[in-house]
A and B are shown apart, each in its own frame.
Chain A
Amino acid sequence: MKIPGLIKSVVIIWAAWYGIVYLFTDLLGAPIPASVMKMYMFFIIIGVFMAFTADEETAEEIFGPFRRLLFDRSHRVLRSIVFIVIPPLVFMVTYEITRPTLDAPVELRAVHPAPPSSFMAFGKSFNMLTLENPYRSLERGKPDKFREAVNEGRTVYYTNCFFCHGDKLEGKGHFVKGFNNPAPANFREVGAIGQLQESFLFWRIAVGGPGLPNEGAPWASPMPVWKDFLTEDQIWKVILFLYDYTGHRPRTFGK
């Protein structure tokens, strides 16, 4: 028996929805965020519509039932039922979407907040357009000195940073349970510090949570303002350590 196109398309859409939920919730163990699910379902519905309407025969299987429902005299009773049922249905869905809940609203937090083009720290202005790690050149020129600087950075890290960012730099330090949102950064993550220039890290560490830009508010980062506790050298050295330990390379762009 041939399954009508309209039913087939609805089944495909439902199966896709169920499959995604099952995949993420049951197999992968982390539910898919609603905002992403909405986007995926949008594509799936559009895709199914396109696949079914690409040729006349299957298009008719999709449009035909609607046309008959709307215009066929023999469907008067069904039409009336549909017209009576749809408005309350729309009302219920709208109510569900818009009713206030206790959950915090959806927030789009920029993980890499926009740095300013210059900022003040240690009594001077740093130009982010040209700022470079003064110890980076040692890596090639004087490897021993470089290793020394990395080791000093290691000490800085384990004296100050590891309580939150963890002893393996994976963002799971002793205090992590105290921070729900945002969690301390996982430096080993692909796409974290490997995406950034050292100047960005310098700014981010120096100004901490309170120094984050207004555009991305509300920031809830408990990161201390490290320029009040560390020296400029210590910050540069701890940055060397972060890259050295994780194996990431700072982002650079040559001309």
Chain B
Amino acid sequence: MNRTGQILATAIFLSTITAGVAFSADGDYQTYMGFSSRNIIWFVAQTHLYFGAFVLGVPIFAVIMEYAGYRRGVLQLDDLAYEFTGLLSVAFAFTSALGGLFLFALVYLYPTFFSYMQGAFTETMLLYALLFFGETFTLYIYYYGWRRFSSTTKWPTWSKYSGYAIGGVFAVTALLFFLGVIGDQPYLTGEVRAFVAALLLLAGGSFLLLTNNKGMHIWFGVWLNIFGTLIMMVANSWASYMMSPTGFNPDTGVFTGSVMEAFFNPLLVPLGVHRILGNIAFGGFLAGAYAAVRFIGAETDKERAHYDWMGYTANLVGVAGLIPLPFAGYYLGREVYSHSAVMGANMMGGDFSFTFILQALLVGSIFLIACYYLWTGMTRIPGAERYRGWVKYLNSFILIGFAIWVTPHNMPLGGAEVSAMGGSQYHPTLKYLGLMPAKNAVVNLIIISTFISFLLYRRANMKGVSSIVKQGATARFGILLATLFSFLIVGQYAIYLLALDPQELNLTSGKVTYILPVAWLLLATCVMFAVTAYLSLIDKGNLGQYLLMGWIIISVVVFPGYFGFIVMEKANPFLRNIAVAQFLQLIGAIILVSVIDLFLYAKSESTGSIRWGRIPLRSQYALLTLCILVTLTMGLMGYVRSGLRTDWHIYGVMRDISVDSATPTNFDMTLMVSVTTLVFLFAIAIIFWLSSIAKKG
């Protein structure tokens, strides 16, 4: 922890200890100077989580940038990574200080609850503290060693092969673990195995970098992320355990299981996946805000150009994290429902249903504003005029999708409106827009429109396409690899659906008629992948891309948007499989179209270089708005996740019998989320300022 962090942590610690005398003992609960204990915990935990997401998201961003700069030999990317890592130092201190405050507050305000958690998780709590050493060490060596480990002079050959050997050991372990050869405990479910295997592969892959000093530096960055992810997963296990506890005696509520059982509780992985993607998006948009602040205050054209470019790159990372996020959210929501139908019903149809309307408003705005930033950015690209006409259509698609997404199933209605609808809370037409088939269809439409905006932006200063045939084996191999990957992810699900017994979904065997059309649709998409790849390889890549995107609009938006309602009525349990089918097809198409685009425009004639720095000022306010919106969204959904437990500390095990046990009103929630957002953004502004002082120094 650096000096600022030490001062801050000491101040907070001392104020907490000094104020300790004001506590009044009351059995399971304590109060602090008359404040609501729940609000204190809520405020501190949420602010801590914001900082946590920042210090976890930025290193992911930084390492990707550094690696891209290293591979492509672009020094600017390396500088960008370094500049962002500089922000981490102060943010890390804030995060630790808030983490300490959170811990003290929990121990003092909720002693019985904390004692239970401590009993179940003692080992992981110690591990958590130990992992911090790993993260602190890698962070500081990563930041302070940047210049020291910048040489690209090759190391001796034996070091390369040693790296390969260690990486190989990790890869084999990952494979064995994934296949179930290692570990046979029941809590090691398929998703746990996949998650751990992915982490092991990342760790093993990092050893391949150990060929020179720069590679070693990136290796430290990767391990900084691995430690960060582990820390997050340990803390996640506590939060997810509170929602989906395991290993306790159902009669007494006493924890009798092992710490591993508690750790690998059912919601650990879904929450982890959602948070990792969320952290990437959060880190990207926060970095974008940083660039915007710097751009607005820039004094020279050179500075403006630099920060404009930085803002663009950060936005790109933010949106890349954002695109899969709705699916990760769906996965988490589905698992919440699987664990408890009561929590599930509360989430989407009960007390928390309107928070999801607010979420749609926020997330839809993020997509829309991220696209707006790209559209305004086209003004600085010579040749982009060709695509200006697309903006109004893309804008309309996003807005229509957005409007459908936020349309509630049960409407807020006045008395006269209820009477006009015959006492029903459902509007005769709009009610259909409030259901999952409509929502899933339009979320995909929004993502497709955002993706097309990116493609247009990418192509803005490129004229004519390059011949893939003439690019030789690399291009062919790249396209075939992408096709194979897309084929694999969609094809395997098609085969799974073809073999799916309706009885597995508690459906009668006749309901197979609702499953097969989706399976055939997936197979048709696989055929489209093959056709697109073939067209690209005979230099008709553009045609292939248009065909595939056209097909994808039909197969993930139009068809499921209609067929989903039929399934909902006749074979509702199958509806969730349709959502998975939509996601897989879209991801497959995005990957294939992107790879083709990469080669298609690899050697295109340029219509002029991007005039970095010559972007309207309002685009920078768009970046700032994105940062505010993403923070608000995180606060809102954090509340939903935690609030779903209603009056339970640990769902179904330990009831909350404090005066604060009632679910807060939406008004109270928006107030708290807004306050935490303001406080966090204010603190971030201080961090930006501190980094500017350091820079000047």
Contact = CB atoms under 8 A, between A and B. Distances in A.
**A and B associate in one complex:** yes
Nearest to A109: B425
B429 to A, nearest CB: 5
B428 interface: yes
Interface in A162-177: 171, 176
Contact of B569 (A106, A182, A190): A190
Interface residues of B, number: 80
A111 B337 contact: no
Given A43-B403, A182-B423, A191 B431 contact: yes
Given A51-B391, A115-B345, A253 B337 contact: yes
Interface stretch (B164-172, B348-356, B458-466, B545-553): B348-356
Contact of B428 (A28, A53, A181): A28
A55 B379 contact: yes
Q: Which label, helix, strand, loop or mixed, suits the secondary structure of the A interface?
A: loop
Contacts of A55: 375-376, 378-379, 388, 391
Interface stretch (A33-41, A76-84, A85-93, A150-158): A33-41
Nearest to B665: A215
Interface stretch (A66-74, A223-231, A232-240, A244-252): A244-252
A41 B423 CA distance: 25
A195 interface: yes
- Among B342, B425, B504, B662, chain A packs the most CB atoms within 10 A around the CB of B342
Given A47-B396, A106-B413, A180 B423 contact: yes
B425 A253 contact: no
Interface in A12-61: 24, 28-36, 39-40, 43-44, 46-47, 50-51, 53-56, 59
Contacts of A129: 340-342, 652
- Among A39, A140, A191, chain B packs the most CB atoms within 10 A around the CB of A191
Contacts of A112: 345, 349-350, 353
A53 B342 contact: no
Nearest to A136: B506
A113 interface: yes
A200 B616 CA distance: 54
A110 B410 contact: yes
A111 B411 CA distance: 10
B351 A111 contact: no
Contacts of B411: 33, 35-36
A185 to B, nearest CB: 9
**Shortest 10 CB-CB contacts between residues of A and residues of B:** A104-B415, A183-B423, A112-B349, A54-B375, A114-B350, A253-B338, A47-B399, A35-B412, A108-B412, A194-B572
Contacts of A53: 376, 616, 618
B523 interface: no
B409 A111 contact: yes
Contacts of B572: 194-195, 248-249, 251
A117 B395 contact: no
26 contacts: A30-B420, A30-B429, A36-B427, A39-B361, A39-B407, A47-B368, A53-B618, A55-B376, A56-B379, A103-B414, A105-B414, A111-B425, A112-B350, A113-B350, A128-B341, A129-B340, A139-B508, A140-B503, A183-B423, A183-B424, A191-B568, A196-B349, A197-B345, A215-B351, A247-B570, A253-B341
Contacts of B416: 103-104
B338 A108 contact: no
B505 A252 contact: yes
Nearest to A190: B569
A24 B429 contact: yes
A255 interface: yes
A54 B425 contact: no
B350 A252 contact: no
Nearest to A52: B392
Contacts of B663: 215
B173 interface: no
B392 A107 contact: no
Nearest to A29: B428
B372 A50 contact: yes
A122 interface: no
Given A47-B396, A183-B424, A252-B505, A104 B414 contact: yes
Contact of A248 (B337, B408, B420, B569): B569
A70 B681 CA distance: 32
A115 B423 contact: no
A148 interface: no
Interface string B310-323: 00000000000000
Contacts of B417: 31, 33-34
Given A55-B388, A115-B342, A117-B652, A108 B354 contact: yes
Contact of A30 (B368, B395, B408, B421): B421
Q: Which label, helix, strand, loop or mixed, suits the secondary structure of the B interface?
A: helix
A92 B53 CA distance: 46
Contacts of B361: 39
Contacts of A40: 403
B346 A251 contact: no
Contacts of B349: 110-112, 195-196
B422 interface: yes
Interface of A: 24, 28-36, 39-40, 43-44, 46-47, 50-51, 53-56, 59, 103-117, 128-129, 139-140, 171, 176, 179-183, 186, 189-191, 194-197, 199-200, 215-216, 247-255
Nearest to B393: A51
A47 B395 contact: yes
A194 B576 CA distance: 13
Contacts of A104: 414-416, 418
Nearest to A198: B341
- Among A40, A183, A249, chain B packs the most CB atoms within 10 A around the CB of A249
A189 to B, nearest CB: 7
B430 interface: yes
Nearest to B432: A190
A188 B432 CA distance: 14
A26 to B, nearest CB: 13
Given A110-B349, A110-B410, A112-B345, A39 B403 contact: yes
B436 to A, nearest CB: 8
Nearest to A246: B569
Given A55-B378, A56-B616, A43 B425 contact: no
B413 to A, nearest CB: 5
B415 A103 contact: yes
A186 B406 CA distance: 23
A193 B565 CA distance: 14
A35 B409 CA distance: 13
Contacts of B102: none
B36 interface: no
Nearest to B399: A47
A52 B131 CA distance: 51
B368 to A, nearest CB: 7
B399 A110 contact: no
B334 interface: yes
A29 B430 CA distance: 12
A47 B411 CA distance: 23
A254 B505 contact: yes
B420 A128 contact: no
A111 B429 contact: no
Interface in B352-378: 353-354, 361, 368, 372, 375-376, 378
- Among A32, A33, A53, chain B packs the most CB atoms within 10 A around the CB of A33
B107 to A, nearest CB: 27
Given A191-B434, A254-B505, A216 B413 contact: no
B419 interface: yes
Given A43-B399, A253-B573, 11 more contacts: A31-B417, A33-B427, A36-B411, A36-B430, A43-B403, A103-B415, A111-B425, A114-B646, A181-B419, A190-B435, A216-B350
A117 B648 contact: yes
B551 to A, nearest CB: 27
Interface in B223-269: none
Contacts of A39: 361, 403, 406-407
A191 B648 CA distance: 28
A194 B568 contact: yes
